[in-house]
Amino acid sequence: MQILRIFHKVPCVVTCHQQPGTVWVRDKLGVLFSQYVNIFFGDRCIALSSTLQDYFINTMRVPKDKVRLIYSGVDSQHFRPPSQDERLEARKHYGLTSEEQVICLIGSLQERKGHEILLQALANLRTNGLNVTTLFAGVGIWKSYIQEKAVELGVADLIHWLGFTDSRQVLWASDIFVLPSWQEAFPLVIIEAMLCGVVTVRTPTSGSADQIQQNVNGFIFPFGDHETLALHLKELLESNTLKSQIADTALKLSQEKFTLNKMTQALINVYEEVTHDID
């Protein structure tokens, strides 16, 4: 790709989908690579979040005028709030009643997704008299460990293991989506949840500040802090008014910022820029 760019004057646009690296990488490699920015990062560098945008500019020394912040978009025609019948059908599919309050976590069953943190929060809620049905959608090598942890914490009976399944159907059956990850770049599942009218609660991984305004359209809790997560969940579970307000605001903001159409147009603009530069 870079050979085409250098020798044949073909414009190059680069997108990074990884969360920024460690302090060592920032301090050492950022300076080392700064002199080669034009080679590695091409004519434009697309950042999926403001965290990545800052990382490219201030750590990797990518010239500011080459960096474009473009949020990943989601098909808002597909991910949308369900009708009452659609919601009931989704719940029926997973053996849930219309009265149950339901939390979900959609993600591969691996350490970085933080399932154990949600299990600890569920145990905390149970201690305070709240037993919450929880859907785990996804597959992965950590399933046995997570299942053992659920038994150890006394919450195994609250968990429905769905495996690989339709994420929209899971969201339509849920009230709250939790993403307790230790590492993410710009998780689209947060956007999918908001577009489906589901309240989101997540950790401050990359993209969190772009997606969530604290206490406005969702909640951000510290890494590994199951007690704060439990407090946010308790607040939402005990107030349908708050839950509805947060969900409505999240739906509106996600429709304004994170649709597939908005992302597509922003990308077209970037390609027009680099094409114009070589004319």
pLDDT of residue 22: 46
What is the mean pLDDT for each group of 10 consecutive residues in the chain (279 residues)?
55 74 48 49 84 86 90 96 98 96 97 97 97 97 97 98 97 98 93 98 94 97 98 97 97 96 95 77
268 to 2, 65, 272: CA distances (angstroms):
21, 17, 6
How much is the pLDDT for 27?
45
User: Phi first, then psi: what are they for 141, rounded to 5°?
Assistant: -75, -10
DSSP class per residue in 162-188: EES--HHHHHHT-SEEEE--S--SS-H
Q: What would the pLDDT profile of 41-61 be if each residue is shown by its tens digit?
A: 578 889 999 988 988 888 878
Structure tokens at 128: 């305070």
Cβ-based neighbours of 115, under 8 Å, separated by 6 or more:
105, 107, 109, 136, 142, 146, 149, 180
Q: Which residues contact 148 (CB under 8 A, 6 or more apart)?
A: none
Which residues lie below 8 Å from residue 279, measured CB to CB, with a gap of 6+?
A: none
pLDDT of residue 40: 54
d(C-alpha 21, C-alpha 189), whole Å? 22
List the domains of the chain with CATH numbers: 2-73+260-277 (no CATH), 84-257 (3.40.50.2000)
What DSSP state is assigned to residue 99? S
The pLDDT score that the predictor gives to residue 151 is 98
| Residue with the two structure tokens 């308790």 | 234
18-24, Cβ contacts within 8 angstroms, sequence gap of 24 or more: 18/185, 19/51, 19/52, 19/183, 19/184, 19/185, 19/205, 19/206, 20/51, 20/52, 20/55, 20/59, 20/206
